[in-house]
Chain A
Amino acid sequence: MTVASSSPPSRLPLDGVTEARTKPRTSRAGAREGRGDGRLAAVFVAPAMLGFVVFLLWPTLRGIYLSFTRFNLLTPAEWVGLDNYVRMVHDPIFWDSMKVTVEYVLINIGVQTVSALAIAVLLQRLTQSAVLRGIVLTPYLMSNVVAGIVWLWILDTQLGIGNEIIAGLGLDRVPFLADETWAIPTIALINVWRHVGYTALLLFAGLQAIPNDMYEAAKVDGASEWRMFWRITMPLLRPVLAVVLIMTVIGSFQVFDTVAVATQGGPANATNVLQYYIYGSAFGRFQFGYASAMSVALLVVLSAITFLQYRLTRAGQSDLG
């Protein structure tokens, strides 16, 4: 934790360290001045810090420790070294579920980002209606489990109204959630349906920050909407889009509830996403050690992807101004 200081950085050299090599953020003198504020800051930060330590830091550290043990939750953990990781590397179901998860993320994020961007731009350029903005957000108000159950019933091969309509049109029924090929795209699209409004709203907020005079100037120069989108909207929205992508990709990798409700990982592991496999190993088979090892793997993958995304999209910098 860094304590915020109100004093500007000074250029006093530190003992034994040349000025050229260091750029100290806080000088000793500054720290002395800010000590009173520091205490107050600590008090304000304490509740959040307590939550962070109790609910995030400690469970993460304990999870990492447990990944080196054999643990069934009811008897004491037994240290097994790297056994769980060795098993993971040789476990075809783990790699298969990793593949299934990546497939899900690609479809989910791909479709969701493009649709959300389209909706956000339409909301900004075409309408000012708050009602319309509200409607776009409606699916997000529903819980994932409810959404999963509703779609499970709509898409049921024999009894679902969706398939009744398809059959009514004279077409063959589609086993959306029961067929190996269809199951992952279907679940990905169900979650797009639920989240696209929220994502669009985040992007919409980003669009609001783009000064209108840029569009006006472009219009005067005779630019088309299409050209303005690519030359003004996209470049200036980039930092927001990057953050939204980072958040949605992390969320997407953690897909669980829709799978748990709609397919339980089936048919034949076709929707056995990583989080579901971890859950099944832990709470179904009581292999908390192995489940922890897979969770650590997921943490590493997500950290790497987030870091890469951050760097590639230059999310920390803006082209505005």
Chain B
Amino acid sequence: MRFRTVTAMTGALALSLVAGCAQGGTAGAGGGTVTYWLWDANQLPAYQACAKDFEKENPGLDVKISQMGWDDYWTKLTASFIAGTQPDVFTDHIQKFGQFADLKVLEPLDDLGIDDSAYQPGLGANWVGEDGHRYGSPKDWDTVALFYNKKLADAAGLTAQQLNDLSWNPKDGGTFEKAIAHLTVDTKGRRGDEPGFDKKHVKVYGLATGGGGDGDGQTQWSNFAASAGWTYTDKKRWGTKYQYDSTTFQSVIKWYFGLAKKGYMAPLTDYSGGASPANMQVAGGKAAAAFDGAWMISTYYGTKGLKVGTAFTPVGPTGKRATMMNGLADSITKNAHNKAGAKKWVKYLASDACQKTVGGYGIVFPATPDGTNTAVAAYRKKGIDVTAFTKPVADKKDFTTFSYPITNYAADVFALMHPAMQAIYGNGKSVSSLDQTTDQINLILDQ
């Protein structure tokens, strides 16, 4: 008798726990609430302003925004797909798009009537999956340029004009390498291009390290590889072969990581994503310049005691400058709790009205041309010239922009390329080792 009571009570307890979990999953998402996740804290106020306008236009709908840092964001998002606690709408990145498409966790957005021509070129098309359905609405874009410490550039006698007019090649590095060498100073005050320079005891590196760059090299080697005429895959989107085994690519990588061997670029050991990303190396006076993305503009210009300038990426062997143009999007999750509300919110996020509101904060370039112009004006008001980021998009004669690689099995590509590039950069492994890595990657893509 007593035994049965205990069993019944245990069972009841277990059941109530399970029921409690299930309830937790839907709490806060029902009714007129749309949940929205983003990772960039700088952008939170801008989207809160958008949400306010949206709620005014749509009485009864309430947007609940959650912001968390980049790493936590993806971990939590992954977990939420599994647990069924996913947000209705989330900020999506091309790097993850392929994987989410594989996992079929995204809702097609074909019925939102998104017109590619309403956005900056290329941004809309990137979010159409291999199956021909749209899974993201263009939100913003960024390019990469050279940030430099003005004081250190002045001390080296390099003008803004000179830094904006650099060129490079994989043989001798061109004027770009000369400038970086000249910006490098060892502990005894000798510059990188002066006799007796001690590459083992460098006080200020010409170029900060952003790590090995994994499979994309967005803020590391991508502009060099692209201006040498190389492309990531055999096709613009949803390619089936990666081309890390190309001799052009490998010659670029050999030269680029060779800058560290010469003492002009900080070694891999100076890089740690958590403690010392490129901007911290510039802020701390350990590096004179760094390639970084437009999303970092406010961070660099907001660093106390640092006077920053920006310059275009150098002209490459193709005679053009290249920079990665990457765009974020808003995606709706397949099992969104409030799909109807989510679609309305995404449509609003993609509208000129919201994108101009966001642009007005001067923290990011919205995807619509009007939104972009509002952002440029807002930056100007803060005294920041963003030409180094916007001109590559407008001027197709001198510049090439290229997209982040979009393929299936993106997570596997990362898992293989991350250590492979570190081994070349940090351990001096031969660039030809990328042949084998490429074979492994392409084998996975062939599945």
Which chain A residues (45-102) contact chain B, with CB distance < 8 Å?
46-47, 50, 72-75
Selected contact of A285 from candidates B6, B267, B411, B429, CB within 8 Å = B411
Cβ of B104 and Cβ of A74 under 8 Å apart? Answer: yes
CB neighbours of B427 from chain A (8 A): 180, 267-268
Bin chain B's interface residue count: 35 or more
CB neighbours of A139 from chain B (8 A): none
CB neighbours of A180 from chain B (8 A): 426-427
Cβ of B75 and Cβ of A178 under 8 Å apart? Answer: no
Mask: chain A, 135-157; 1 = CB below 8 Å from B; 0 = not: 00000000000000100110011
Bin chain A's interface residue count: 35 or more
Q: Does more than half of chain B's interface fall in helix, strand or loop, or is it mixed?
A: helix
Cβ of A42 and Cβ of B426 under 8 Å apart? Answer: no
Cβ of B10 and Cβ of A159 under 8 Å apart? Answer: no
CB neighbours of A47 from chain B (8 A): 10
Cβ of B81 and Cβ of A178 under 8 Å apart? Answer: no
In the complex, A286 Cα to B102 Cα: how many Å? 10
Which of chain B's residues has its CB closest to A181's CB? B427
Cβ of A269 and Cβ of B275 under 8 Å apart? Answer: no
Cβ of B75 and Cβ of A268 under 8 Å apart? Answer: no
Q: For residue B267, give the distance in angstroms from its CB to the closest CB of chain A.
A: 8
Which chain A residues (21-56) contact chain B, with CB distance < 8 Å?
39, 42-43, 46-47, 50
In the complex, A42 Cα to B269 Cα: how many Å? 58
Mask: chain B, 420-447; 1 = CB below 8 Å from A; 0 = not: 1011001101000000000000000000
Q: Does more than half of chain A's interface fall in helix, strand or loop, or is it mixed?
A: loop
Which of chain B's residues has its CB closest to A174's CB? B269
**B122 interface residue, CB < 8 Å from A?**
no
A75 with B104, Cβ < 8 A, contacts A46-B6, A268-B423 known = yes
CB neighbours of B275 from chain A (8 A): 152-153, 156, 159-160
Which of chain B's residues has its CB closest to A176's CB? B269
A178 with B271, Cβ < 8 A, contacts A159-B276, A283-B75 known = yes
Q: For residue B15, give the distance in angstroms from its CB to the closest CB of chain A.
A: 13
CB neighbours of B193 from chain A (8 A): none
CB neighbours of B261 from chain A (8 A): none
Selected contact of A43 from candidates B2, B102, B272, B414, CB within 8 Å = B2
Cβ of B10 and Cβ of A268 under 8 Å apart? Answer: no
Cβ of A43 and Cβ of B3 under 8 Å apart? Answer: yes
CB neighbours of B422 from chain A (8 A): 266-269
Mask: chain B, 183-209; 1 = CB below 8 Å from A; 0 = not: 000000000000000001000000000
**A177 interface residue, CB < 8 Å from B?**
yes
Q: Which of B33-41, B170-178, B278-286 lies at the interface?
A: B278-286
In the complex, A39 Cα to B2 Cα: how many Å? 10
Cβ of B3 and Cβ of A269 under 8 Å apart? Answer: no
Selected contact of B103 from candidates A50, A72, A152, CB within 8 Å = A72
Which of chain B's residues has its CB closest to A180's CB? B427
Which chain B residues (375-401) contact chain A, with CB distance < 8 Å?
none
In the A-B complex, the 5 residue pairs with the smallest Cβ-Cβ separation, listed nearest first, are A175-B269, A268-B423, A178-B269, A268-B422, A269-B419
Q: Interface on A for B, CB 8 Å cutoff?
A: 39, 42-43, 46-47, 50, 72-75, 149, 152-153, 156-160, 172, 175, 177-180, 264-269, 272, 280-281, 283-286
Further 4 A-B residue pairs, CB within 8 A, beyond A158-B284, A268-B429: A39-B3, A158-B270, A178-B268, A267-B427
